[in-house]
């Protein structure tokens, strides 16, 4: 276990003016609070907070962060309280310890609804003080380093959470070294054999080729010396998980993996960066499409570097990063560089990003999310996406995630520009709106008055901002359309029971169903979230259930035993008048299929389960649900007229779902409640006769079989 003197020495290596008394008191306090507690490995528990503090000294962080690491588990795991910490160490440290405690209690890998809420709390804690997440990341790193002491199922859960959440977050914060180590430690748990196979193959490669890193490093140093550039060259093999990810993404074997070595050239000035790039490209052939200049276009977390890939010795691809020492410090520490100390003073690194501005840029889109799905979508896009940099016609830079389209670009400029977008030019050439943008391209957006977002745009855009704006516009537009459709569906349903859908009747139904007002009710009916049948059942339960001399729907089938019950198969939706067969299920009664149902093919060799059935003769009630697939013109009033046609045939619409929307037509599935096969035929004929109906057919879905 690291002693207090050893820890202080680690801090004083970069901060000779460190508050030795504060660190000593925190060490003693934490040791006293955790006295008697042990880890899964059997070590004293306090060894963990000390090791977390030691990890933070590697990032040269301030005294408050080091002390927070020493105390980060005291509130959760000991008798210590927030008030105790505040009294002993002050409000700043108490707030940091409390923040880390709250993050520890968040279950970020739980269900989506809970996960979204916990992500909100995570970003709230980060926005208050980013040092909270720095301590939490170091805490997770040490836990992953010592994870073998935990139970296997707990290892899997922690490793998955690390791979999905903490490693990408560390990368988004610019702490690439931590991201790589977290990924590799999680990879070791989640796919031990995969990682071992990569290591075995790499050792074999080294045995065959010798120390390639040393050779290439010497080659690069020779070229830089020849050009008169003073530089430090660092070479390394990429981590096993990085190699595995490339193999998976490119669907290739290890033998075809190329750029498995990475090299960094650290120079004195920005001018030297470009001079070094020239020296490298003069000596080796650059690989097309693998050049990125993050010096002229820095990442939002402050990262600056030039990336290039060249064909090195024996044609092997080599990735090279070129940066200054100051850029390198930010590349290693990311946003954490803001708190770094050197020689007792806060390091004035010109490239370190102000954490407040960074967290604001990260989370500014989140608040526009209307539900949990949208929020998680925004988080994952902002946290995990790499970036491209494009230009407006005036030369302004727009930062977008990789995979973004001209529509994302338009919405990034202004929501109004996005909503009215009708086309785009990329580098002066007209391109489709779904084109994926690349680094350095110039984008010119064309707009038109009266243009509105299309529903297909949701699948085109890649940014949370664009998706939120499109959904908002579609909701506003759809609401009015749904109200009109809902009014028509309500009229048909009320006509079916010989009633009028008066304002009072609709208002009463809305109150009974707990819906805001009449317009809200109609909108819900139009969007199929509430059926018109539910409204009728709410207002007129006797009329809704009345069947007259009709056959009892519960006894509509002949051939069952007295104790047997039946259900209609959802895959073929048989109706009276069709030939049917029953399939018995233990404990579930009998499932009725149409005789031509494709699902029966799987049951041909199970004749003992087949039951000979037929429908009762007579008038059946219109309660048998059948799905119809329609293709209709996208024109004013067409959908309302189709609904009227169905109502005129004495059928009731129970649900309606759009499956495709195009500028000239709609495809939709309408669930209609029918009496029998003749009733179905009459409804389909009535619709086929309409000039705006391109096709109508029965919709059968084998995925819905029992």
Residues belonging to the active site: 76-77
Please tell me the number of Cα atoms within 13 Å of 472 on its side-chain side: 15
Query: What are 32's two structure tokens?
Result: 């006293």
- Residue 361, helix vs strand vs coil: helix
Whether 689 and 681 have beta carbons less than 8 Å apart is answered as no
Within 10 A of 568 (CB to CB), how many other CB atoms are there? Answer: 19
The Cα 73–Cα 48 span in angstroms is 9
The Cα 438–Cα 391 span in angstroms is 11
Task: At 387, give phi and psi (nearest 5°).
Answer: -120, 155
The Cα 36–Cα 315 span in angstroms is 59
The Cα 60–Cα 368 span in angstroms is 37
The candidate with the shortest Cα–Cα distance to 29, out of 83, 82, 84, 66, is 84
The Cα 11–Cα 20 span in angstroms is 9
Whether 96 and 65 have beta carbons less than 8 Å apart is answered as yes
In the numeric block, the tokens 């959440």 are attached to 165
The length of the chain in residues reads: 706
In the numeric block, the tokens 């190329």 are attached to 258
The Cα 225–Cα 279 span in angstroms is 10
Task: At 74, give phi and psi (nearest 5°).
Answer: -70, -40
Within 10 A of 50 (CB to CB), how many other CB atoms are there? Answer: 21
What percent of the chain is helix, strand and coil (3-state, nearest 5)? 50, 15, 30
The Cα 40–Cα 246 span in angstroms is 35
The candidate with the shortest Cα–Cα distance to 274, out of 338, 339, 224, is 224
């Amino acid at each position: 276990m690291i002693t207090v003197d050893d820890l202080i020495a680690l801090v004083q290596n970069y901060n000779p003016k460190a508050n030795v008394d504060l660190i000593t008191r925190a060490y003693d306090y934490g040791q006293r609070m955790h006295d008697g507690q042990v880890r899964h490995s059997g070590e004293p528990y306090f060894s963990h907070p000390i090791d977390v503090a030691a990890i933070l000294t590697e990032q040269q962080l301030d005294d408050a962060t080091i002390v927070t690491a020493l105390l980060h588990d005291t509130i959760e795991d000991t008798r210590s309280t927030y008030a105790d910490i505040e009294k002993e160490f002050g409000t700043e440290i108490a707030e940091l310890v409390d923040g880390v405690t709250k993050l520890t209690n968040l279950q970020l890998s739980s269900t989506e609804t809970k996960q979204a809420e916990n992500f909100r709390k995570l970003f709230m804690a980060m926005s208050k003080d980013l040092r909270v997440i720095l301590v939490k990341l170091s805490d997770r790193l040490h836990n992953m380093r010592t994870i073998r002491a935990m139970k296997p199922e707990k290892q899997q859960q922690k490793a998955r959470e690390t791979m999905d959440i903490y490693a990408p977050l560390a990368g988004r914060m610019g702490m690439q070294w931590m991201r790589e180590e977290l990924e590799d430690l999680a990879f070791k748990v989640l796919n031990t054999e995969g990682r071992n196979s990569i290591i075995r193959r790499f050792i074999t490669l080294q045995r065959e080729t010798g120390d390639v890193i040393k050779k290439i490093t010497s080659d690069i140093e020779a070229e830089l010396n020849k050009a008169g550039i003073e530089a430090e060259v660092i070479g390394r093999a990429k981590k096993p998980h990085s190699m595995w990810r490339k193999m998976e993404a490119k669907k290739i074997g290890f033998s075809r993996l190329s750029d498995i070595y990475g090299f960094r050239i650290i120079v004195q000035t920005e001018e030297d960066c470009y001079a070094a790039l020239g020296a490298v490209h003069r000596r080796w052939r650059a690989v097309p499409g693998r050049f990125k200049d993050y010096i002229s276009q820095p990442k939002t977390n402050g990262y600056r570097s030039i990336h290039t890939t060249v064909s090195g010795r024996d044609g092997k691809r080599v990735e090279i990063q070129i940066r200054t020492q100051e850029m390198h410090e930010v590349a290693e520490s990311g946003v954490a560089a803001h708190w770094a100390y050197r020689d007792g003073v806060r390091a004035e690194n010109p490239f370190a990003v102000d954490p407040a501005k960074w967290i604001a840029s990260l989370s500014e889109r989140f608040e526009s999310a209307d539900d949990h799905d949208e929020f998680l979508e925004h988080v994952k896009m902002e946290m995990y996406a790499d970036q491209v940099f494009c230009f407006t016609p005036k030369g302004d830079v727009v930062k977008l995630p990789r995979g973004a389209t001209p529509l994302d670009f338009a919405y990034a400029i202004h929501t109004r520009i996005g909503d009215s977008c009708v086309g785009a030019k990329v580098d002066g050439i007209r391109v489709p709106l779904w084109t994926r943008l690349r680094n350095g391209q110039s984008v010119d957006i064309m707009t038109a008055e009266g243009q509105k977002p299309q529903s297909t745009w949701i699948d085109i855009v890649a940014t949370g901002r664009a998706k939120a704006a499109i959904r908002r516009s579609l909701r506003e537009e759809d609401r009015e359309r749904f109200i009109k459709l809902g009014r028509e569906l309500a009229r048909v349903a009320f006509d079916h029971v010989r009633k009028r859908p008066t304002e009072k009747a609709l208002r009463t139904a809305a109150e009974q169903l707990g819906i805001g007002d009449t317009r809200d009710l109609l909108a819900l009916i139009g969007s199929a979230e509430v059926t018109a049948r539910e409204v009728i059942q709410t207002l007129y339960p006797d009329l809704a259930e009345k069947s007259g001399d009709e056959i009892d729907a519960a006894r509509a089938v002949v051939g069952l035993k007295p104790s047997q019950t039946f259900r209609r198969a959802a895959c073929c939706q048989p109706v009276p008048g069709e030939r049917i067969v029953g399939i018995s299920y233990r404990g579930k009664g009998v499932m009725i299929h149409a005789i031509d149902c494709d699902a029966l093919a799987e049951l041909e060799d199970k004749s003992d389960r087949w039951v000979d059935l037929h429908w009762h003769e007579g008038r059946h009630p219109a309660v048998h649900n059948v799905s119809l697939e329609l293709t209709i013109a996208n024109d004013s009033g067409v959908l309302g007229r189709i609904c009227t046609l169905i109502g005129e045939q004495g059928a009731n619409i129970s649900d309606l779902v759009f499956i495709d929307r195009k500028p000239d037509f709609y495809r939709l599935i309408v669930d209609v409640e029918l009496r029998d096969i003749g009733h179905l035929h009459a409804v389909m004929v009535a619709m086929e006769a309409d000039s705006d109906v391109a096709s109508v057919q029965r919709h059968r879905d084998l995925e819905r079989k029992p």
